[in-house]
Amino acid sequence: MPKLPIVSARKLIKAFQQMGFEKVRQTGSHIVLKHADCRIAIVPNHKEIKKGTLRNGILKPLNISVEQLLNNL
């Protein structure tokens, strides 16, 4: 398994948009993205997203692997 990169919210949102997600709304510092199959991703708008937050809070609930993320970055 490849190492998880340190990414910004901007890069992560671009990667999710390439995977078919689109930005729905922003509440405070959290950006909500929705996929056509009703999966919802909530991304904190930070310069660096912590690795634990990225893996356990964002990728794992969406069933997105690290390899899929790296291919879209």
Contact 21, 33 (CB under 8 A): yes
Could you read off the pLDDT of 1-44 as tens digits, one per residue?
A: 678 888 999 999 999 999 999 999 998 999 999 999 999 999 99
Quote the pTM value.
Answer: 0.85
Q: Which domains does the chain have, with CATH numbers?
A: 9-72 (3.30.920.30)
Q: Are 43 and 33 in contact (CB under 8 A)?
A: yes
Between CA 60 and CA 24 the distance in angstroms is 20
Cα distance between residue 17 and residue 3, in whole Å: 22
pLDDT, residue 1, reads 65
